[in-house]
Amino acid sequence: MNINLNTIAVTLDNSERIQCAAGTTIRDALPQRQSPEGLHYVGALVNNDAVSLTYPLEVDSNVALLTRGDPHGFQIYRRSVWFLLAKTVKELFPDAHFAVEHSLGAGFFCSFEMDGKPGICEEQLQSIDQKMRATVERDVPIEMRKIAFTEAVQRFEQEKQWDKYNLLRFRNPPKIATWWCENFSDLSHGPLASDTGALAPFKLILYPPGFVLQIPEQANPKTLPPFEPQPQLFQIFQEHKEWGRVLGVNTVGRLNEIIAMREIGDFIKIAEAFHEKKIAQIADHVYKHRNQIKWCLIAGPSSSGKTTFAKRLAVQLRVDGLRPVTISVDNYFVNREQTPRDASGEPDFENLETVDLALFNEHLMRLDKGEEVELPTFNFEKGCREYHGEKLRIEPGQIVLVEGIHGLNPRLTQSVPPAHKLRIYISALTQLNLDSNNRISTTDNRLVRRLVRDNNYRGNSALTTLSMWPSVRQGERTWIFPYQQAADIAFNSALDYELAVLKPLVEPLLAEVKPHHSQYAEARRLQEFLSSFLSVSDHLVPPTSILREFIGHSSFRY
């Protein structure tokens, strides 16, 4: 206990302790700029909360400095580079419409429009690149300022930053947290780096009709990875983005307006009809090629909605006169004690070897020949496969839907002739932005879904799900994402209204994560992110919606 109430104790992550005056910023208390690995510090964890280096230390604190090689530091770095890009575009092209829209490979696709014409030329992109690098070289401070709500609204209105102005329409705190760099200001959506000198390296790549902002990956923070285009996912996202533009809904502020005007019911119907139309088109494609396609392989990362998609596709195939059957890869898991382990010795549930590949391929081969097999059922409570006499034989002309995260990995179905396969990849590519330079992460969308689902169906607390999520993400990068370009068809399972429905369901779960938990920073980040949304009652969600897979009361059986 401190005797001097104006002095606090700061314990670093290496157990070193220092004393400083209450109110001292992290940057002043710990003036080192770089880590031993030569990476700039971009923020810190203070009592498990992610903050900027300009954060004032007011109580006894445990402090861990963050670089872009740390999970929370990477989020700060990424958000800060978006801020720098937005500042540069605003200064060079004040009348342009610009947005950081979605991830693309190891970068982020950005749209750009001048005088009503979408697109950017090489010269314009070079001028943005050069000015960003010059700002990094000048090492300009980035400062947080809390300003009066009225001042913030007036400023964004005068600057015609309508995306930020609209985000404040349904909020009324007395003060608004904003970030400033020279004459550019932005709403705060989380901590930023304290200066622009920490924001290299990056690269801008022309990618019509816009460009890609590329930054290092967290796992390899010192170098830029090679850019790998993803044309199929890019096309799906652009289609969904265009759909949002047609409806006039591409920001959270506009969604909130629809909710406030009590028009959300109609919007939900339109969003669900869009899904149904796309699923029907995929079913029609299968029907058209029914003499060739025998196996529909449905893959995608955790909480992308694979199971409900498979069930809805089966309905549409029946509409076309086909008789689909479904096989869940999960029922072919090896017994729990045989589950592969990761580098830390923990069960690696994302690993392909969690599936009994020999048995699965034997069954596929026999089914492809018209033979009968007895299907297993995996008992998740006991952690083992069981057999209950469920037999399956594929009749001539039948379609088999194979659903599981590894569906696109060729090893999973190596016993089936490639010509008989249709590979479908499911992802949740939300097209909504918080504002022009702050996108909604596909990963965050899936994480919120999973938090609600795990609590509803597995009895998991938010703390448990957040603890598992880094391992899930690592497994996706290793076992799922490398195969997504092998897909013949991609389906976007995101629903533009869903986070408004999930918000009141997940917020009480996140509130149970406390400052003494190491997952507190992630829970706080998600709470802050969801605070931008107005809530919507889940009774408006149709019983066949993909969202019902996570919130419950689906008309499908799982």
pLDDT tens, residue by residue, 252-266: 999 999 999 999 999
> What does 133-151 look like in DSSP terms, one character per residue?
HHHHHHT-B-EEEEEEHHH
Place of tokens 């540069």: 88
Order of strands across the sheet with 489-492? 325-328, 400-403, 295-299, 421-427, 489-492
- What is the C-alpha to C-alpha distance for residues 8 and 550, in angstroms, rounded to an integer? 45
User: Which residues make up the CATH 3.40.50.300 domain(s) of the chain?
Assistant: 244-551
Query: In degrees rounded to 5, what are phi and psi of residue 548?
Result: -65, -20
Q: What angle do CA 238, 551, 296 make, to 5 degrees?
A: 55
Identify the H or E element spanning 258: helix 252-260
Report the SS3 class of residue 174: coil
Tokens representing 27? 């940057």
The token pair at 427 is 């992802």
- CA distances to 157, 301, 312, 485, 513 from 306, in Å: 42, 9, 10, 17, 29
Residue 50: φ, ψ to 5°: -75, 130
At 472, list the tokens: 């899930």
Number of other residues whose CB lies within 10 A of the CB of residue 68? 28
Residue extent(s) of CATH 3.10.20.30 domains in the chain: 7-67
Within 13 A of 404's CA, how many CA atoms are on the CB side? 26
Bridge partners for 401 per DSSP: 296, 326
Q: What is the DSSP letter of 419?
A: G
The pLDDT of residue 106: 81
The answer to whether the CB of 35 falls within 8 A of the CB of 53 is: no
CA-closest candidate to residue 306, choices 326, 288, 284:
326
Say if CB 233 and CB 427 are below 8 A apart.
yes
pLDDT value at residue 4: 53
**Superfamily of the domain at 244-551:** P-loop containing nucleotide triphosphate hydrolases (3.40.50.300)
What pLDDT, on a 0 to 100 scale, did the predictor assign at position 1?
44
Per-residue pLDDT for the chain (558 aa), expressed as one digit of tens each? 444 568 999 999 888 999 999 999 999 999 999 999 999 999 999 999 999 999 999 999 999 999 999 999 999 999 999 999 999 999 999 999 999 998 888 899 999 999 889 999 999 999 999 999 999 999 999 999 999 999 999 998 988 888 899 899 998 899 999 999 999 999 999 999 999 999 999 999 999 999 999 999 999 999 999 988 888 888 888 888 888 877 889 899 999 999 999 999 999 999 999 999 999 999 999 999 999 999 999 999 999 999 999 999 999 999 999 999 999 999 999 999 999 998 888 888 899 999 999 999 999 999 999 999 999 999 988 999 999 999 999 988 899 999 999 999 999 999 999 999 999 999 998 889 999 889 999 999 999 999 999 999 988 999 999 999 999 999 999 999 999 989 999 999 999 999 999 999 999 999 999 999 999 999 999 999 999 999 999 999 999 999 999 999 999 998
- Token pair 């802050």: residue: 528
Contact 132, 84 (CB under 8 A): yes
Pick the CATH number of 7-67 from 3.10.20.30, 3.30.413.10, 3.30.1330.60, 3.40.190.10: 3.10.20.30
Residue 376, phi then psi, degrees to nearest 5: -85, 165
User: Cα separation of 426 and 309, whole Å?
Assistant: 8
- Specify the domain boundaries for CATH 3.30.980.10 within the chain: 74-220+227-231
**pTM listed for this prediction:** 0.92
* Structure-block tokens of residue 534: 């107005």
Amino acid found at 1: M
Cis preceding linkage at 201, omega within 30 = yes
Residue among 72, 75, 73, 97 nearest 86 (CA): 97
Using DSSP, state whether 185 is helix, strand or coil.
strand
d(CA 316, CA 324): 10
* Alpha helix ranges (H) inside 121-213: 122-138, 149-158, 162-167
Distance of alpha carbon 300 from alpha carbon 549, whole angstroms: 15
**SS3 of 314, please?**
helix
Q: For residue 464, with 0-12 CB atoms within 10 Å meaning exposed, 13-18 middle and 19 or more buried, which class applies?
A: middle
- Cβ atoms of residues 506 and 452 within 8 Å: yes
DSSP letter at 41 equals P
Within 8 A by CB and 6+ apart from 170, the residues are: 253, 256, 257, 260, 534
User: Residues in the chain, how many?
Assistant: 558
Domain 74-220+227-231 coded CATH 3.30.980.10: yes
Tokens of 435: 């504002």
| Model pLDDT, residue 229 | 86
**Which is it for the CA torsion 97, 98, 99, 101, positive or negative?**
positive
Cross-strand partners of 18: 10
